[in-house]
Amino acid sequence: MAPKSKSTKQKQPAKSTTGPIQQPAPNWPPMNPVLPADSLSLETVLPNQIVTISNLWTSTLCAKYVSFLRSLPLATTPGIPKKGDAVRVNDRFQIEDPIFAERLWSETGLKDLIAATEDPKLWGGEVLGLNANIRIYRYSKGQFFDQHYDDSNNVLFPSATSDNAVPAKTTWTLLLYLTSPVTGCKGGETVFYPDPPSRREAPPPPVVTNLEVGLALLHRHGRDCMLHEGKEVTEGEKWVIRSDLCVKR
Ligand SMILES: O=C(O)CCC(=O)C(=O)O
Ligand SMILES: [Fe+2]
């Protein structure tokens, strides 16, 4: 689990006191075709920590997005991270876009699957939807995201700029993979390192999530986040859309 101090964290960039700098939202392609929610399922990879949904996005939709996302002004990570931040070597585009977050939540099976979870306490509170802070990552050959913990962040839902926003916090990270070995991407697996059950016991083996086109992975973050990393890409490109699950604060 994330130690209380001295951890290598991936923080949400601080917003300025005068409010976030608004850039126009991209003209995102329509979010179709997608499969109906009743043909999707939430699979537990590690109880209370990692769940996945295969084919949350169809391969057609993923391919459409990868070609669109290429047109965005992605910025390469500065080589040296700020003190305490994880080394992330990739190209990234970030935007505060509550409308896209709402579409990703409602126009796919995600909202229905989460609402139907047997143990609603799993999500850490009353689920509201996805964080408007949308991050797009492209990892090319040689790029990776070093071991780190993801922070929980306090946010306003649906967003700081809307009139009826409610206080919320993020509890789980969402990673949506758009590429895999099928599209020519090798490496890039997300690997989690569970803590040993006690100090005297050996740590359980790492949990490796192989890339799968359209697979959504959710993992618990904040105080109970597991150490994890995005392995180096050794061939092709890995594309990921990142957001977080938000619950009422
Ligand atoms: O790209 C990955 O596999 C991991 C990304 C990640 O850990 C993050 O966005 O915090
Ligand atoms: Fe992370």
**Nearest residue CA, atom 2 of ligand 1?**
230
Q: Is the CB of 230 under 6 A from ligand 1?
A: yes
Whole-angstrom CA distances from 126 to 170, 175, 227 are: 11, 21, 25
* Dihedral angle over CA of 221, 223, 227, 228, nearest 10: 10
Q: Of 155, 172, 191, 140, whose CA–CA distance to 242 is shortest?
A: 172
Model confidence at 10, in pLDDT bands (50, 70, 90)? low
Residue 177, both tokens: 């993979």
Residue 203, both tokens: 């740590």
Q: Is the CB of 190 under 6 A from ligand 1?
A: yes
- Over residues 89-140, the pLDDT tens digits come to 899 999 999 999 999 999 999 999 999 998 889 999 999 999 999 999 999 9
> CA-to-CA distance for 237 and 65, rounded, in angstroms?
14
How many angstroms does the Cα of residue 163 sit away from the middle of ligand 2?
30
Class of domain 38-77+85-248: mainly beta
ipTM computed for the complex: 0.99
What pLDDT, on the 0 to 100 scale, is given for residue 1? 53
What's the predicted TM-score (pTM) here?
0.92
Q: CB neighbours of 102 closer than 8 A, spacing ≥ 6?
A: 129, 130, 158
Domain boundaries, the chain: 38-77+85-248
